[in-house]
Amino acid sequence: MASVLVPLAQGCEELEAVTIIDLLRRADIEVVTAGLDDQPVRAAHGTVLIPDTTLDAVADREFDMIVLPGGLPGADHLDRDPRIHALLTRMAAADRYVAAICAAPKILANAGLLANRRATSFPGVLDARAVAGLEYREEPVVQDGRIITSRGPGTAMDFVLTLIEALVGKETRARVEAALQRPDHHRTV
- Residue 175: Cβ-neighbour burial (10 angstroms; 0-12, 13-18, 19+): middle
**Residue 167: how many CB atoms within 10 A of its CB?**
19
Interhelix angle 156-168/170-180, nearest 10 degrees: 150
Task: Please work out, in degrees rounded to the nearest 5, the angle formed at the alpha carbon of residue 103 by the alpha carbons of 115 and 173.
Answer: 85
> Which residues are catalytic, by number?
102
Task: State the DSSP code for 40.
Answer: P
Q: Is 106 in contact with 73 (CB distance < 8 Å)?
A: no
Cα separation, 15 vs 88, in Å, equals 23
Q: CB neighbours of 116 closer than 8 A, spacing ≥ 6?
A: 132, 133, 134
